[in-house]
Structure 1
Amino acid sequence: MTEPADRPPRTEPSDGEGSVSVIGTAHVSQASVEEVETAIADEQPDIVAVELDDGRYRQLKGHEPDDLDASDLLQGNTVFQFLAYWMLSYVQTRLGEQFDIDPGADMLAAVESAEEHGIDVALVDRDIQETIQRFWARMTITEKLRMVGGLAFGVTDSRVVGVMVGLIVGLVAGPALALFGGAVGITEAVYLRAAASGLLGLAAALLIDQLAGLALGADRRLVASLGGGWAVASVVAASGVADALVGSLLGGFAVTIIGSLTLGLVGGLALGLVAAVVIGLLGPSGPAPEGGIDEMDIEELTDADVVTVMMEEFRQFSPGGAEALIDERDAYIAHQLVGLRDAGYDVLAVVGAGHRAGIEGYLDDPASLPPMNTLVGEETGRGIPWGKIIGIVLSVAFVSFFVLLAMAGVQNAFLLRVFGAWFLINAVFAAGFAKLAGARWSSAGVGGAVAWMTSINPALAPGWFAGYVELRHLTVNVGDIGTLNDLLSDERKPIGEILGEMFDVPLFKLIMVVALTNVGSIVASALFVSYILPLLGTELGGVDGISQLMLDGARNSAELIWRTIT
Structure 2
Amino acid sequence: MNRECLTIIGTAHVSEKSVEEVKDAIYEKQPDVVAIELDRGRYTRLRKEMAGIEEDDTIPITQIIKENKIGVFLVSTILGHFQSKIGAELDVKPGSEMIGAIEAAEDLKIPIALIDRDINITLQRALNKMTFKEKFKFLTSLVTSFFSDDDEADELDIEELKNPENIDEVMGYFKEVSPGAYEVLVKERDAYLAGNILRIKQDKVVAVVGAGHKPGIEAHLNNPEGIPPLSSLVITNEKKSIPWAKIILALIPILFVVIFFLAFISGINISDNLIEFIAISMIMGFLGSILSGSKLISAIVGGVVAPLTIIHPLLAAGWFSGLTEAKLRKIRKRDISNLSNVEKISDLWHNNIIRILLVVIGTNLAVSIATLIILPSQVFIPLFMKIFGG
- Counterpart-to-counterpart distance in 2, 1:317 and 1:433: 30
Which whole-Å deviations, capped at 9, do the CAs of 1:272-327 have from their partners, x for residues lacking one? xxxxxxxxxxx98xx89xxx866963322222332132112211222221110011
User: Aligned runs of 1:485-504 on 2, under 5 Å?
Assistant: 486-488=340-342, 491=343, 495-496=345-346, 498-502=347-351
User: Aligned runs of 1:172-211 on 2, under 5 Å?
Assistant: none
- Counterpart-to-counterpart distance in 1, 2:240 and 2:156: 38
Pick from 314, 327, 333: which aligns with 2:174?
314
The one-letter code of the counterpart of 2:283 is V
Post-superposition shift, 1:18?
A: 9.7
- Contact kept, 8 Å, 1:434 with 1:514, in 2: the verdict is yes
**Structure 1 residue aligned with 2:116:** 125
- Counterpart-to-counterpart distance in 1, 2:6 and 2:272: 72
- Counterpart-to-counterpart distance in 2, 1:382 and 1:310: 30
- Contact kept, 8 Å, 1:99 with 1:298, in 2: the verdict is no
Pick from 410, 429, 434: which aligns with 2:284?
429
Question: Helix, strand or coil: the match of 2:253?
Answer: helix
Question: Helix, strand or coil: the match of 1:316?
Answer: helix
- Counterpart-to-counterpart distance in 2, 1:73 and 1:429: 21
- Counterpart-to-counterpart distance in 1, 2:228 and 2:236: 17
Matched, 1:398 2:267: no
**Structure 1 residue aligned with 2:247:** 389
- Contact kept, 8 Å, 2:285 with 2:303, in 1: the verdict is yes
Which whole-Å deviations, capped at 9, do the CAs of 1:189-220 have from their partners, x for residues lacking one? xxxxxxxxxxxxxxxxxxxxxxxxxxxxxxxx
Using a 3 Å threshold, how does the CA distance of structure 1 residues 307 and 148 change in structure 2: closer, same or farther? same
Gaps of 5+ in 1: 1-13, 157-282, 538-542, 554-566
Using a 3 Å threshold, how does the CA distance of structure 1 residues 360 and 295 change in structure 2: closer, same or farther? closer
Question: Helix, strand or coil: the match of 1:336?
Answer: helix
**Structure 2 residue aligned with 1:551:** 388
Which whole-Å deviations, capped at 9, do the CAs of 1:14-62 have from their partners, x for residues lacking one? 9x99953211111122111110010111112222111112332234342
Post-superposition shift, 1:369?
A: 1.0
**Structure 2 residue aligned with 1:43:** 29
**Structure 2 residue aligned with 1:224:** none
Question: Helix, strand or coil: the match of 1:48?
Answer: strand
- Counterpart-to-counterpart distance in 2, 1:527 and 1:392: 17
Point out the more displaced range, 127-136 or 422-431: 422-431
The one-letter code of the counterpart of 2:341 is L
Using a 3 Å threshold, how does the CA distance of structure 1 residues 379 and 353 change in structure 2: closer, same or farther? farther
- Contact kept, 8 Å, 1:394 with 1:457, in 2: the verdict is no
- Contact kept, 8 Å, 1:48 with 1:119, in 2: the verdict is yes
- Counterpart-to-counterpart distance in 2, 1:153 and 1:351: 28
Question: Helix, strand or coil: the match of 1:501?
Answer: coil
Matched, 1:52 2:38: yes
- Contact kept, 8 Å, 1:408 with 1:549, in 2: the verdict is no
- Contact kept, 8 Å, 2:138 with 2:177, in 1: the verdict is no
Post-superposition shift, 1:362?
A: 2.2
Pick from 498, 502, 511: which aligns with 2:357?
511
Pick from 99, 103, 111: which aligns with 2:102?
111
The one-letter code of the counterpart of 2:215 is A
Question: Helix, strand or coil: the match of 1:23?
Answer: strand
Which whole-Å deviations, capped at 9, do the CAs of 1:387-435 have from their partners, x for residues lacking one? 4122223122201211221232203xxx122222222332233234334
Pick from 370, 392, 406: which aligns with 2:228?
370
- Counterpart-to-counterpart distance in 1, 2:73 and 2:59: 14
Using a 3 Å threshold, how does the CA distance of structure 1 residues 408 and 479 change in structure 2: closer, same or farther? same
- Contact kept, 8 Å, 1:29 with 1:298, in 2: the verdict is yes
Using a 3 Å threshold, how does the CA distance of structure 1 residues 353 and 295 change in structure 2: closer, same or farther? closer
**Structure 2 residue aligned with 1:85:** 76
**Structure 1 residue aligned with 2:366:** 520
- Counterpart-to-counterpart distance in 2, 1:351 and 1:393: 47
Using a 3 Å threshold, how does the CA distance of structure 1 residues 370 and 127 change in structure 2: closer, same or farther? same
Matched, 1:468 2:317: no
The one-letter code of the counterpart of 1:90 is H
- Counterpart-to-counterpart distance in 2, 1:315 and 1:97: 27
TM-score, length-normalised on structure 2?
0.85
- Counterpart-to-counterpart distance in 2, 1:362 and 1:382: 27
- Counterpart-to-counterpart distance in 2, 1:529 and 1:551: 16
Pick from 184, 207, 213: which aligns with 1:355?
213
**Structure 1 residue aligned with 2:18:** 32
- Contact kept, 8 Å, 2:64 with 2:73, in 1: the verdict is no
- Contact kept, 8 Å, 1:20 with 1:337, in 2: the verdict is no
The one-letter code of the counterpart of 1:487 is N
- Counterpart-to-counterpart distance in 1, 2:280 and 2:7: 64
Question: Helix, strand or coil: the match of 2:94?
Answer: coil
**Consecutive aligned runs of 4 or more in structure 1 exceeding 6 Å deviation:** none
The one-letter code of the counterpart of 2:387 is M
The one-letter code of the counterpart of 2:366 is G
Post-superposition shift, 1:91?
A: 3.2
- Contact kept, 8 Å, 1:133 with 1:379, in 2: the verdict is no
Equivalenced residue count is 383
| % same residue | 36
The one-letter code of the counterpart of 2:386 is L
Post-superposition shift, 1:150?
A: 2.3
TM-score, length-normalised on structure 1?
0.61
The one-letter code of the counterpart of 1:316 is E
- Contact kept, 8 Å, 2:33 with 2:202, in 1: the verdict is no
- Contact kept, 8 Å, 2:90 with 2:155, in 1: the verdict is no
- Contact kept, 8 Å, 2:65 with 2:323, in 1: the verdict is no
**Structure 2 residue aligned with 1:143:** 134
Which whole-Å deviations, capped at 9, do the CAs of 1:81-122 have from their partners, x for residues lacking one? 323223322333343344332222212221222223222222
Pick from 275, 284, 308: which aligns with 1:453?
308
- Contact kept, 8 Å, 2:32 with 2:202, in 1: the verdict is no
- Counterpart-to-counterpart distance in 2, 1:480 and 1:334: 36
Which whole-Å deviations, capped at 9, do the CAs of 1:536-559 have from their partners, x for residues lacking one? x9xxxxx4xx44433269xxxxxx
User: Aligned runs of 1:238-249 on 2, under 5 Å?
Assistant: none
- Counterpart-to-counterpart distance in 1, 2:5 and 2:314: 49
- Contact kept, 8 Å, 1:334 with 1:362, in 2: the verdict is yes
Matched, 1:68 2:54: no
